[in-house]
Structure 1
């Protein structure tokens, strides 16, 4: 029994979970937000949980709306896997000697995503049964929609990486099979592989049903294994970039009803982008990530202050470039507009309007409907 628990502790899935808590804990914040949103503890007063558990698309909760949320959750999980694969690859060099290393990483990195999916389905079934009063058939229909969207996006992502694996193998095969070419790829002072000081792995899931012992890769040079991982990293970064460009293009068409996705989908995709951006900063800047983000924030603040970046909405036909002719907009001017004199004049004018309206009515006490809405 002791040997079993020891092997379980030093298995790749368990060690990866521990690694997430040891390194780059900021990435776990996004998982915390998803868990807390689904269980209703985060932004409960705004009904955030219902956005995930009963998503609407064009005003209806149906198969398609659930499928879109499933796609967004799949994008988030794949973004999480890609980002952590890039950041943590130096801790598991043995994967570079296997076929389809990214797929194996996703399988072993599945504890947190699978836990979330199980928790999500439990909360969704409870919510749809008790609050939405749905029949079991309707709940099964929504669950099927979610799984369809989720499986579709994961399959597309893995297919992309399978093609990347084939391309990488084609490039490395002539080098690996020729000893002289292999030797020429590296300097004479090539570094040897040393085990990670952060995690210790003895077993890993080679597939969903097969456990395999970790190979000793100390006889490989570090440069060679890093060359394998670097090609996978490039494919991973490229996939994130393509997804980001696709989302930007969708943003330009956000006024079209077709692209008005469920709110939960937009939130989750936004989290996926933030994970990718956080991972990119950490990968390229290492310890300089925090100072860089502080400087970037200060720079953006200056650009906003001096209107170099202006996100405000513009009214069509007005000239916003000539600042000297703009009406004064400050507290003093607003207080002047809201003076007692202007207030009394506006009140008198409105009473006159109401008296004219009443004079046109046939009844002595006609029904008047008042609609009080916020202006701006």
Structure 2
């Protein structure tokens, strides 16, 4: 029994259990990280792949793993520093050891080592079984990862070796230390009247266990001075690291510094832990209260001051004056009969131009009118949409786009569709081969690494830099970085103002594109397009006192240079996934903000059917029918989920969880209902659906980053039996 008690007084074991007693918040962070690397947390968003297969400069390499390891080493050190500040006073024997902080870290390394072991195990599994890498490659990846971890820890330990002292070294410096103005902020940190934790054994190194010495004969004041001095050095180190990381934001335009996204995630955790440690070392029991006060103050400043408002801008729009945004002004703008007649006339002329080209392409007097609806879903939807359009162009020998009149939808799908549309438009002038696989590869390039890096080093702390577009200057943020990355990946082909598309759309040289981000303030849709779309609110404006559902950007901001709006910004607004990308603030009074179109219509069906209804008379007389072509990242799911018993946890979580969990299902029901109404009209409507995944278990990340194996899955999906049947059906309809 006595021996068992001695084992229970093993220093690493005491620290491990003490973390769960005093560091619950930090243990929750560890729990999340363990869940991520074991692919049990955030798998659908692809977060585990960022850790298991990191990319640097668009490739998985030894260097990318080293950088990830360096970031993980920084988090490990933040964990040790925070633990030392919180738990150090409970273990006075540390002050008697040579290199006390180093010894503390060794004994506090059980959780970090366990994390590293789990990470390495899962790297082997992913890279070998999914990315099909050789064992030799994986060995070097793991060695690079470990080298990165060790590199940061060695740098930190060298610092503490030069600065920290134990009790033996204080005897000759007693007076100087007591008078040091730098140590005075820590003078209230006491060991306490009673020492609760007295370990019997500790780890002198990773492979050596020693028995602790008794400390009763040591001067308590000396212990406190050792602790204060070590804590001061720890705080100084944390300040250096924090400002160094934030300083990296000054070089956000340098590709070399755009570290892997997983490193940015670890960096974010590291920064918060270190900042909390710094505050705690000074304020101790007041820490939580001060943090709450700072949060309230920051919230107040964000509302009442320009600098702290952290706005994201629609590049190209004029922000010099604000447009009234209220029910009366919206009714005046959108419910205007004369503008409605002009809008319809504009689109009838566009349809006439479309008919001439489509009839020649299809060899029919009354051609089929194709409307493409694309789903949201991050980079997977973007790449899948582009892949399908590229394969259809090849299958129809370059004639498919001549039959396509309108493209609409949400999020990533519209990025892929817009990229293909632009390549199609410039194919002749630039000598582009639309079937070239190079464009597929470019579309799949990473959009997350620099985005997450900018979020951590720039947006959260100190914003810097401006962006000029169409003669106007704006504050830069991660939204701009997203646009720049997408622009670079697509060789600047989409870096155009909205007005650039007015003429080619009117001539029907390219299909119409309608974007519809959601206005966060009231749930209405902001319609963005190069043409006017007043008829999307219907063609009968009588008794519509509730106001319009759809607000046209070019009409709302007619005096704010709407045609100067960057098309890249418009695509970003349409794809603003919450928190990952910032909501875009618009120049209205009161101010409104826009974000992802998928909040209201993740498949574009609402926009398409409203367009058809408004122009159904012309379409009925001049076409042989409509083909609604869906490019979806997943099949419709109407499965019935039920449980025999409902637990207390279910009663607490299901009301909220079911609301969000069934959100896309509700959109599916609404879309099906709308389509049923459309089928009851006198129009012949056929639906073609190309599906990336048949069920949710087919793992492809909802993210702005894809692994190589995920790209291969997307590239091959068009060849599956379901999609080939849909292709045959489409060919038959256009024959």
When normalised by structure 1's length, the TM-score is 0.85
Structure 1, unpaired ranges of 5+:
186-190
Aligned positions of 1:13-24 closer than 5 A? 13-24=12-23
Corresponding position of 1:305? 303
Contact between 1:76 and 1:271, CA under 8 Å: does it hold in 2?
yes
Contact between 1:193 and 1:221, CA under 8 Å: does it hold in 2?
no
Describe the SS at the equivalent of 1:46: coil
Match of 1:277 among 272, 275, 292: 275
Corresponding position of 1:247? 245
Contact between 1:68 and 1:146, CA under 8 Å: does it hold in 2?
yes
Rounded to whole Å, the distance in 2 between the matches of 1:218 and 1:22 is 26
Q: CA deviation at 1:11?
A: 0.8
Match of 2:198 among 192, 197, 200: 200
Rounded to whole Å, the distance in 2 between the matches of 1:278 and 1:298 is 17
Rounded to whole Å, the distance in 2 between the matches of 1:88 and 1:64 is 35
Structure 2, unpaired ranges of 5+:
180-189, 363-398, 409-413, 415-514, 516-569, 574-735
Corresponding position of 2:6? 7
Is the alpha carbon distance of 1:339 and 1:297 closer, same or farther for their aligned partners in structure 2, counting shifts above 3 Å? farther
Q: CA deviation at 1:196?
A: 2.1
When normalised by structure 2's length, the TM-score is 0.45
Q: Deviations over 1:162-210 (max 9, x none)?
A: 11136x889735246xxxx69x98xxxxx9985522x331111122222
Rounded to whole Å, the distance in 2 between the matches of 1:205 and 1:276 is 25
Corresponding position of 1:72? 71
Corresponding position of 1:353? 350
Describe the SS at the equivalent of 1:61: coil
Rounded to whole Å, the distance in 1 between the matches of 2:344 and 2:97 is 80
Q: Deviations over 1:238-268 (max 9, x none)?
A: 1111111111111122232111111100000
RMSD over aligned CA atoms reads 2.9
Aligned positions of 1:227-238 closer than 5 A? 227-238=225-236
Rounded to whole Å, the distance in 1 between the matches of 2:204 and 2:326 is 65
Corresponding position of 2:481? none
Is the alpha carbon distance of 1:203 and 1:371 closer, same or farther for their aligned partners in structure 2, counting shifts above 3 Å? same
Contact between 2:96 and 2:168, CA under 8 Å: does it hold in 1?
no
Describe the SS at the equivalent of 1:45: coil
Q: Deviations over 1:44-95 (max 9, x none)?
A: 2101110000011121111011111100100000011011112211111111
Rounded to whole Å, the distance in 2 between the matches of 1:330 and 1:98 is 70
Contact between 1:193 and 1:218, CA under 8 Å: does it hold in 2?
no
Is the alpha carbon distance of 1:371 and 1:281 closer, same or farther for their aligned partners in structure 2, counting shifts above 3 Å? same
Q: CA deviation at 1:111?
A: 0.8
Rounded to whole Å, the distance in 1 between the matches of 2:171 and 2:30 is 39
Residues 1:39 and 2:38 are matched in the alignment: yes
Structure exhibiting the larger radius of gyration computed from Cα positions: 2
Rounded to whole Å, the distance in 2 between the matches of 1:93 and 1:313 is 51
Is the alpha carbon distance of 1:278 and 1:209 closer, same or farther for their aligned partners in structure 2, counting shifts above 3 Å? same
Q: Deviations over 1:142-178 (max 9, x none)?
A: 1121112111111111111111136x889735246xx
Corresponding position of 2:218? 220
Describe the SS at the equivalent of 1:204: strand
Rounded to whole Å, the distance in 2 between the matches of 1:70 and 1:46 is 22
Aligned positions of 1:1-376 closer than 5 A? 2-165=1-164, 172-175=170-173, 195-197=194-196, 199-308=197-306, 309-314=308-313, 320=319, 325-329=321-325, 333=329, 337-339=333-335, 341=337, 345-356=342-353, 359=356, 363-365=360-362, 366-368=399-401, 372=408, 373=414, 375=570, 376=573
Contact between 1:108 and 1:204, CA under 8 Å: does it hold in 2?
yes
Rounded to whole Å, the distance in 2 between the matches of 1:147 and 1:252 is 28
Q: CA deviation at 1:134?
A: 1.6
Describe the SS at the equivalent of 1:215: coil
Q: CA deviation at 1:31?
A: 0.8
Q: CA deviation at 1:311?
A: 1.0
Is the alpha carbon distance of 1:345 and 1:147 closer, same or farther for their aligned partners in structure 2, counting shifts above 3 Å? farther
Corresponding position of 1:188? none
Describe the SS at the equivalent of 2:229: helix
Aligned residue pair count: 360
Contact between 2:67 and 2:259, CA under 8 Å: does it hold in 1?
yes
User: Which of 237-246 and 220-229 deviates more?
Assistant: 220-229
Rounded to whole Å, the distance in 2 between the matches of 1:331 and 1:132 is 54
Higher fraction of strand: 2
Contact between 1:71 and 1:150, CA under 8 Å: does it hold in 2?
yes
